[in-house]
Amino acid sequence: MANNQAATTYGHGKGIGATVGIALLGMGTVGAEVFRLINENANDFEQRIGGPVAVRGIAVSDTSKERPGVPAELLTTDAHALINRDDVDVVVEVIGGIDYPRELVLAALRAGKSVVTANKALVAAHADELAAAANAAGVDLFFEAAVAAAIPVVGMLRRSLAGDKIQRISGIVNGTTNFILDAMETTGASYEDALAEATRLGYAEADPTADVEGHDAASKAAILASLGFYTRVTFDDVHCEGISKITAEDIEAADRAGYSIKLLAICERLTAADGTESVNARVHPTLVPKDHPLASVNKSYNAIFVEAEAAGSLMFYGNGAGGNPTASAVLGDLVGASRNKVHGGRAPEDNTYAHLPIASFGEVETRYHIDMEVADRTGVLAAISNVFAEFGVSLRTVRQEDRGETARLIVVTHAARESVLADIVEHLSGLDDVHAVNSVIRLDN
């Protein structure tokens, strides 16, 4: 057998007209929208699926909480019992977190229920285990909502581009950090002030770590890379730098040079001189030319570029977060999983046949925007240029601003390896005339 797919053909469905039983795990913003829309559009769901859907129960942590429009008899704290009901066919997980949802999703898959989840952290951390359980049971595991909410990038990679070869996936996949960076660029605010504003408006959570340190984007990068390169990439494989060190001065320097700073997730196929392929996934603040479409993605919007061999460049843009867009993605998956329960068949399963090695971050080549505080003295530029030359990295632009005793020197390099860049920064910092390397920000190629 030439592949690692489940060694079964797919069975028959329940038959046209059969009711599909749904277990809803979680009743936060997304869960409430999912429940509301299932009821509001019941006839449409029935027509699109081939049979009606019925929510059999909703697992919550507190059944006594006021939930307008939700019949009390649907609520339960016993998620396992709900999942295992004979009349439940599809389980929708919108709880969040990792350990508890993992336990529930695995229980559901093992019980032969198809699963729809919006949980990027879970999928990015435990994809192999979840895929194995789904394959063993021959059921669907869907997670369109886990990446960029209603932007259907998961489905596109899984199906629409299944006949193509993906070279690169890059984009803005975290709305919170984009809101903060956009606010800093628009108003000149400091990082701290922009974060406070994002928190006040509900764009950032009380503990913003997962967003601002890039963890959320890294989970999404892992999922996108796994799908695009048919290779398992997990959260731990993703090099991750957040935006908490970006200063108003960085934003302003970028702006003057014609760039916006965006937190990008970048998944890349690397091809060595001998043709050997590997993949890399990373998240870091990135300078994007102001005339590039990504630069004009503002507020909490998301945008994803996909570069494929035959398709060329494709861009997808939309609302990357929020209850409604996330519910849209969950419900698209719910219709798909329910259709398969009625008609038989199964969606393309998780497939990591390519097993490409993960390239370390040091092997990645990119360009750099380096901002230094240097002594304002003859010969400084020569000394600095020498460091770059020693490491075989050529400079694209050099800009110097006098500041009395010292000068600010901003250097943009041609493409160089991350490992080389690290060495260069170390050497630059060791020069007497370099008082500080203020920031190193990468440029998107």
* 428 annotated as ligand-binding: no
Shortest distance, position 177 Cβ to a second copy, whole Å:
20
Residues 23-42 touching a second copy, rule: CB under 8 A, are 33, 37, 41
Nearer to a second copy, 371 or 444 (CB): 444
Catalytic residues: 220
Q: Which of 81, 136, 272, 354 binds a second copy (CB under 8 A)?
A: 354
Q: Is residue 351 at the binding interface for a second copy, with CB under 8 A as the rule? A: yes
Nearer to a second copy, 96 or 345 (CB): 345
Q: Is residue 52 at the binding interface for a second copy, with CB under 8 A as the rule? A: yes
Q: Which segment (48-56, 121-129, 189-197, 380-388) binds a second copy by CB under 8 A?
A: 48-56
Shortest distance, position 337 Cβ to a second copy, whole Å:
11
Residues 224-243 touching a second copy, rule: CB under 8 A, are 230
Binding footprint of a second copy, residue count (CB under 8 A): 78
Shortest distance, position 343 Cβ to a second copy, whole Å:
5
Residues 158-177 touching a second copy, rule: CB under 8 A, are 159-165
Q: Is residue 45 at the binding interface for a second copy, with CB under 8 A as the rule? A: yes
Q: Are strands 75-76 and 53-59 parallel, antiparallel or unpaired?
A: parallel
Q: Which segment (64-72, 186-194, 261-269, 344-352) binds a second copy by CB under 8 A?
A: 344-352
Residues 290-329 touching a second copy, rule: CB under 8 A, are 293, 296, 308-319, 324-325, 327-329
| Binding residue numbers | 25-32, 120, 205
Which residue ranges make up the annotated binding site for L-homoserine?
A: 205
